[in-house]
A and B are shown apart, each in its own frame.
Chain A
Amino acid sequence: MQLQYFLVLAAALFCIGIFGLITSRNAVRVLMSIELMLNAVNLNLMAFSNYLDAQDIKGQVFTTFVIAIAAAEAAVGLAIVLAIYRNRDTVDMEQFNLLKW
């Protein structure tokens, strides 16, 4: 078990999250992809705090904050999606292009 493996795993998870973020057509899945990316970040923080900063574990504190913020963000995000849905009757990301050219 080495630091690098955790970092590679987190990076892979981040990439999957990016892929989901950019390609998903469903707005909820976009939000879910963002959660994935946040989790990848959390993994990084935990890994670094474990291997490099075992005394002060500042990373773990950050992780806590990130989880809290992620929860809040998901709440706000879902609320936005709901608000858009009420107006546009759809959650298809490709329909939300009012600012085209």
Chain B
Amino acid sequence: MDQFLLQSIWLVPCYALAGAVLSVLWFPSVTRLTGPRPSGYVNILTTFLAFLHGLLALPAVWNQPAQQFFFPWLNVANLDLTLPFEASALTVGATILITGLNLLAQVYAVGYLEMDWGWARFFALLALFEAGMCALVLCNSLFFSYMILEVLTLGTYLLVGLWFNQSLVVTGARDAFLTKRVGDLFLLMGVVALLPLAGTWNFTELAEWAQTADVNPTVITLVGLALIAGPMGKCAQFPLHLWLDEAMEGPLPSTILRNSVVVATGAWVLIKLEPVLALSPVVMAALVWIGGITAVGGSLIAIAQIDLKRTLSYLVSAYMGLVFIAVGAGQSEAALLLVLTHAVAIALLVMSVGSIIWNSITQDITQLGGLWSRRPVSGLAFLVGTAGLIALPPFGSFWALLKLADGLWTTQPWLVGLVLLVNGLTAFSLVRVFSRIFGGQPHPMAQRSPEIHWLMALPMAILLGVVLHVPIVLQAFSLLPAWADLNKDVALLLLWSSIFGCSLSAVVYLGSAIPKPVQFPWKPLQDLLSYDFYTAQIYRMSIVVGVDLISRITSWIDRYLVDGFVNLVGVATLFGGQGLKYSTSGQTQSYALTILVGAVLVGCLVMWSS
């Protein structure tokens, strides 16, 4: 039975796709009869099936070597595009994570979107995402990963733009699509350039090839840089980070997925490509630098945000930056662990934040406060999410960050300092948000804010339990280091950075010694952070202006030079006809003259040519 479930693991993406297709039945006229709800229930059912399938298939592959399945797709000339599926404990586990989080997010959405009529569209898109991500983790080919990433890019566009009658939603969806497309375009270049070098797109074979590869260092550096551009866009790394912030305009239940697993799709491809990227030291350094800048910058920006959802979006960028650092330092396992612990923790944080937004009048954290007494479940979820995200033993991310820092300890000690800094800043930022929402006195805007109903509370509580149990799960997967191997210096440093960040933030934001809102002594720095390093303005002044100018020039050339030339031919013919018609004088004698001249000319021609 287990073996059969494993053989049919490719069905996992299909369940979700079936749900998405079934949702199409709820077009407006049907929705008018039945209401939008059945479409949601259908998708929850299919997601549950996918979750169950993965869960039951896991024992069959547990502690077993990875199994490969092949689906021939296109076979022409010397190009053989076969879709390889890999079923290993890792990939099946990833599908369980994805389908599980999606299941919780969908139940949450049933409560969150109670009054919305766009259920069919929303749930179909969530299912599309689920199908895409499951297919991505299962498929073992760079080429098909690229195709799936493109589908997910389109899905992001549609999902962020769900409430398309709001202008900010429209620009957010557009920016998310275009930013990811920029990354994907470079990724495509890398994907295409890799085939002649390696001769394969299969991740396993790529790893084997990379061990003995002998390639021109310049070429492999360029290919590697192109390959990391796609994950950069997906994981919202500097300088392609702005879209994640703007995507917060989308519906919140989709944000749960986006912030936890959708951004991690880029990290997944990156981790899979790590052997290829490791061929070039320049690429590895670039990964570390990009990740480092994003991690520090993102966690700093998060501290200066007052929008409840945006305080979390930059932390996602920052943690993906840590994943970049891990891959850049050659620590794929730490990166995977970080992706896992980050996914569950941030999903819980987003759920908690969503429950606040759902029935408070505002999502501005300066307008909230004092909600602890009336929102204990949400508050508890936020605290547990915080504990799961920062390095606070024994919760999840502590072990991931410990593994990362431990690996960096001997090779690149300065990166350990960076990890500590990011961890401290994240702790500061999350406790700040907690203090502003749940601590202090209730602001008039937050007076009427009861606890949420069970449909949102239940998935939140379940996820809360999952986050608390992450260490036990890690233990079961024997991913925790033994006590003797534990690098106690690093562990203590991480713990201290978390405690320092938390307590400093608590003193500043819970105490009354410092007046709120906190004014930084140096205003330009505060502005720099709260305006996201002015990235939007920089883009507007450089790339947007540049593209605008180029398109204007191109349009002018097209309209006046290219079209002008063709029109000139037409006008010349017209004028030629108009001018030549005067030779038709209607006079017999002029015709006679013409014939004569013509005959003479023909005669001359014949004479000369002979």
Q: Could you tell me which A residues sit within 8 Å of B by CB distance?
A: 18, 21-24, 30, 93-94, 96-101
Q: How far is it, in angstroms, between the C-alpha of A94 and the C-alpha of B588 when the chains are bound?
A: 9
- CA–CA, A18 and B589, complex, Å: 10
Task: Assess the B582–A21 pair: CB atoms within 8 A.
Answer: no
B593 contact set on A, CB distance < 8 A: 22
CA distance A101 to B596 in the complex (A): 21
* B166 within 8 A of partner (CB): no
* Residue in A18, A30, A96 whose beta carbon sits within 8 Å of that of B596 in the complex: A18
Residue in chain A with minimal CB distance to B593? A22
Please determine whether B592 and A97 come into contact, CB atoms closer than 8 angstroms.
Answer: no
B residues 566-610 near A (Cβ < 8 Å) are 581-582, 584-590, 592-593, 596
A36 to chain B, nearest CB (A): 14
Q: Which of A18, A21, A97 contacts B585 (CB 8 A)?
A: A97
For A98, the chain B residues whose CB sits under 8 A away are 586
Most buried by A among B581, B587, B590, B592: B587
The 10 sampled A-B contact pairs (Cβ below 8 Å) are: A22-B590, A22-B592, A22-B593, A23-B589, A24-B589, A93-B587, A93-B588, A97-B586, A100-B586, A101-B586
CA distance A91 to B144 in the complex (A): 89
Q: How far is the CB of A7 from chain B (nearest CB, A)?
A: 16
Q: Residue A100 contacts which of B584, B589, B592 (CB distance < 8 angstroms)?
A: B584
What DSSP secondary structure best describes chain B's contact surface? helix
Residue contact B586 to A21, C-beta cutoff 8 Å: no
- The chain B residue sitting closest to A97, CB to CB, is B586
- With A101-B581, A101-B582 known to touch, is A94 a contact of B596 (CB < 8 Å)? no
- B584 contacts A96, C-beta separation under 8 Å: no
Minimum CB–CB distance from A73 to chain B (whole Å) comes to: 15
CB A76 to nearest CB in B, in angstroms, measures 15
Q: Mark contacts of B263-277 with chain A using CB atoms, 8 A cut-off: 1 yes-contact digit, 0 otherwise.
A: 000000000000000
> Which residues of chain A have C-beta atoms less than 8 A from B581's C-beta?
101
Q: Would you call B586 and A22 a contact (CB within 8 A)?
A: no
* Interface contacts beyond A93-B588, A101-B581: sample of 14 additional A-B pairs, CB < 8 Å, sorted by A: A21-B589, A21-B592, A22-B589, A22-B593, A22-B596, A94-B587, A96-B586, A96-B587, A97-B585, A97-B587, A99-B586, A100-B584, A100-B586, A101-B582
The interface residues of chain B lying within 8 Å CB-to-CB of A100 are 584-586
Contacts of B587 in A (CB 8 A): 93-94, 96-97
Q: How large is the interface on B (under 10, 10 to 19, 20 to 34, 35 or more residues)?
A: 10 to 19
Q: Contact between B589 and A101 (Cβ–Cβ < 8 Å)? A: no
Min CB distance B592 to A, Å, is 6
B589–A93 contact, CB under 8 A? yes
For B584, the chain A residues whose CB sits under 8 A away are 99-101
Report how far A23 CA is from B592 CA in the complex, Å: 11
Kindly report which residue of chain A lies nearest to residue B589, judged by CB atoms: A22
Please state if A30 and B589 are interface contacts (CB–CB under 8 Å).
Answer: yes
A80 CB, min distance to chain B CBs, angstroms: 11
C-alpha gap A23/B582 in the complex (Å):
19
Chain A residues with CB below 8 A from B596, complex form: 18, 22
The 6 A-B pairs with the shortest beta carbon distances in the complex, nearest first, are A97-B586, A100-B586, A99-B586, A101-B581, A22-B593, A22-B589
User: Which residues of A lie under 8 Å from residue B588 when comparing CB positions?
Assistant: 93, 96
Closest to A27 in B: B588
B 410-454 binary contact with A (CB < 8 Å = 1; else 0) = 000000000000000000000000000000000000000000000
Which residues on A sit within 8 Å (CB–CB) of B585?
Answer: 97, 100
CB distance from B486 to the nearest CB of A (A): 103
Residues of A close to B589: CB separation below 8 A: 21-24, 30, 93
Residue of A nearest to B578 (CB): A101
Contacts of B586 in A (CB 8 A): 96-101
B19 to chain A: closest CB distance in Å?
Answer: 74
- In angstroms, Cα B596 to Cα A22, docked, is 10
Interface residues of B in 541-563 (CB under 8 A from A): none
Contacts of A23 in B (CB 8 A): 589
Residues of chain B lying within 8 A (CB to CB) of residue A93:
587-589
A34 to B75, CA, bound (A): 82
A30 cross-chain contacts in B, Cβ below 8 A: 589
Whole-angstrom distance between the Cβ of B589 and the nearest chain A Cβ:
5
* Alpha-carbon distance between A93 and B585 when the two chains are bound, in angstroms: 12
CA gap between A42 and B587 in the complex, in Å: 28
In the complex, which residue of chain A has the Cβ closest to the Cβ of B581? Answer: A101
- Residues of A contacting B582 in the complex (Cβ-Cβ under 8 angstroms): 101
Q: How far is the CA of A88 from the CA of B592 in the complex (A)?
A: 22
Q: How far is the CB of A10 from chain B (nearest CB, A)?
A: 17
Q: In the complex, A21→B587 CA distance in Å?
A: 12
Closest chain-B Cβ to A11's Cβ sits at a distance in Å of: 13
Residues in B neighbouring A24, C-beta threshold 8 A: 589
The interface residues of chain A lying within 8 Å CB-to-CB of B590 are 22
CB distance from A55 to the nearest CB of B (A): 30
CA distance A4 to B418 in the complex (A): 113
Residues of B within 8 A of A101 (CB): 581-582, 584, 586
List residues of chain B with CB within 8 A of the CB of A96: 586-588
How distant is the Cα of A100 from the Cα of B584 in the complex, in angstroms? 6
Which one of A18, A23, A97 has the highest number of Cβ atoms from chain B below 10 Å of its Cβ? A97
A96 to B582, CA, bound (A): 16
In Å, the complex CA distance between A99 and B593 comes to 17
